[in-house]
Structure formats: structure tokens, C-alpha cells
Structure 1
């Protein structure tokens, strides 16, 4: 069952969604509700839902802001609801990797279709998160993992990930793949984002930081050499990106494993 969180300030709509839609038939279960963005953010942190259905206009914090602040809190897909059709909001939603932008009042079939796409997206995101965590595995194991991508995964995305695994220590960008794959950078970016919910650069940074963590745990050299070994030529930028994903400095991370680094960060 996929866990669903409802974030909607209008109680009638929120309760209507919860009690009139056949969630079990859709392979889902509603695990919580919130009446504004701030409460929704707290629920995401506490409940770790798979799918969040959120109204765009709410008191205290709107849906877009809530999504922006919650993307690092849980591996989930988002379905946005709105009482009106506005292109600007839809564009923001797409930029944030939102699965669907639905205009109220909702049709049952509309929501069912959106849920199916959200379920597929969250499965893909969990797969790619697991892949990042498996960065210390052998190349054969990683390749085997790639071959198990869910049905519908693009071969382009698989090749992009393979490229990251092989060249993460070098200076690389998505433009390196344009000639290799014969596809424009804009298309590759869209494809990668739609399938993984990450931008190419975000995935690259996450992968590099995971490899850095492996080296930091084992005490393989100074922090600045590890930064260079995993593809970061700018040491200060490495520290900033490491803090972003690990919520601590490299030195603090090492201390958790009994490794001490005397170098200042």
C-alpha cells in the first residue's frame, strides 16, 4: 500500500477526498491530514508519506512553499490541487518535480490516473535513492541494479547514470552526454527529472557525496584530497554540498566513525 497525506485547508474538500474516494482500490491508504502548509510539512517529516496531495492556496504556508521545504524530508511524489488553472503555478509545480497539477473540482478518474503516475514516480525515486546509497558496491552489482529499473524507464536515463558512475571523479556535465546519446541537453534534463525527480546535477552531487562518505568512514586521506577524488575541485563548494546532503561537515561525519581529521573546514 502507498501511504497518502492530504494537505488541504478546506475541510469539506479534505474530508470528501478521504471518505468518498476508494483508496484501497487504488492501492493506497490515507495516513494523515493537514489543514495548512506548516502542518503539512510537520506531517511529512513525521509520517514519511509516499504521496502528498496538496492544495496550492493555503494559510500560513502555501503548497508550493511546502513542497520546496519538504523535498529533502521524505521520498515522496506530489499531486497539486488548485481551484483555478494558472500556468505560472503549473510551471513552478513542474520545476519541483510534481507528478500532477489538477484543477478542482476533481473527477474520480482524474485522481485515479494521477495516483497511478505518482506511484510509479515514487517507486523510481526510491530505486534511484537506493542506487545512490549503493555507491560503494562493485560495478557489477551496480550494473545489475540498473538492469532492474522499473518498466518504462528510459535507456537514456540508465546511460546517464552509468556515465556518472564511471566519470564522477572527473569534471563532467550533462553536455558531455549530448554527443554520446545524440539527444539535446534540454531533452535529457527533462527526461532525467521526470523519471528520477532529480536534476542531473543533483544526482551527480548526491552520488559524489555518497562516495566521499565511504572514503571518510575508512579514513582514506585528508578531507581536501577526498573532495578532489570524488570530483570536487573547489573545496569550499564540496563542504557546502556535503552539509546540504549530510546535515553535518565532513569532519563531524568522520567523528561518528571514530576517525579524526585535524584540518580546518
Structure 2
């Protein structure tokens, strides 16, 4: 039996479909895929109001992956196909709250081990027996980039990729939201030269804008607090229940610590 060949699942917002296709063209193997386009909309009774949230995006990914599993089982007759790979870096998977007001739903955690395990239970009760697997649970985003086996391809993919939580508003990455900061820190860590364009390239100027600086200041506050206390264990517990295995918990703690250090090093390079 050869290596497993994954079915790629994606969905797009306006403006990023072409980017996804360009990145897919960099893959050495030809993969089957399921994809669809989506734009935020509201039910009829709420028409006229604006929905700019992307909170359901990760749930859509997982739901589409379940659909892919069912399609593969029906097409092949192989009921043993059950693994959904969720390739998310360990820091953003845990996404520990940067400040006290982010302990709740202000920060999404849709690839958190606790959420995925509960979603597995829900799907099992509904008759869908699947297993979610994150191969990068103990890797930072910077480590994922620097350890990629095809450095030439990943260097080409970086300027094409989209990480920003505000992308769908202006079709350009803001450069200062938490996903953008994690992204830019990882690129700095991997020493890559070329990146995508950002609406706010210079972070120093963002600190002077009250409506934009919240995420940067929240990250700075978390760095200062954790440098003083080193209580990473208590910090990551605030994002949700963790696996009971003490070795797994320790790995998660160290991953989160390294992830925040990547951001700290990037901010220092930006002289913040």
C-alpha cells in the first residue's frame, strides 16, 4: 500500500479563489479536491443588516471535510476512510487569550483539541465516524515554514497565501490583526524575503491609530505578563480543556511559549 493521497477541501471568499488555485499548482502531485465559494449572508428576516464575521469559516471547512469523507466512502466502498487532516499550527490552535476580555468568544479556537474532540463526538452520534488529526499540533507557524521539505515551493506560496481575519473586507491583508502578526512573525522566523502586501506594512504607524492598535497592544501585554510570570500552563488552560496526558500538556505549553517568542522577536525587529 502506498502513501495516502489526500482529498483537498477548501472554500473561498471573494478574491482569494485565484490565490488558492495558484498555491495548488505548486504541489508536485495532482490531488482531487472539493471546493466552493462563500460570501457572508443573512436569513431573510435579517436582510438589510451586514454580516462581516468569519467565525463560521472553520466550521464550514470541517463540515466540507466530512462531506468529502462520505463521498470517498461511497465512491470506493472503503468504510475505513475516516481521517480528516487539519493542518493548523499549535499556537493558533490553542490561541490562548491575550487579555482577560479575550477569554470568551472574542478569539476563535476552532481547531482546539477540546473542540475537535467534542465535534468528533457530535458527528459520531449523528452516524459520521471520523477522526480529526492535526499533524502540526506541536509546531509553531514559523517552524512549519522553516521545516517545510520543499523550501522553493513554500517561498513561492507565501506571497500568494491569505491569513488575515479582515481579508474579505478589502481584499488585502491588514498586517496588524492577530493572524497577520502570527503570519509575519513566522515569515521572519523562517527568514523568507518575499511576502504578500499589507494595508499596514509599518506597525509603528498602527500604534497611533486607536481603531487599529488593539491586537498589537494585546500581544505586547501578553508578552510582558508572561515574561514576568512564566505561567504558560495557567495561560493555555484559559483557552479550554486540555488532553489529560501530562506529556501532551507539556508539549502544548512549550509550543505556545515558542509561538509567542516568535511574535516577540518579530516585534523587536520592527522596533516595537
Question: What TM-score, normalized to structure 2?
Answer: 0.26
Question: What TM-score, normalized to structure 1?
Answer: 0.26
Q: Whose Rg is larger?
A: 1
- The structure with higher relative contact order (CA 8 Å, sep 6+) is 2
Higher strand share: 1
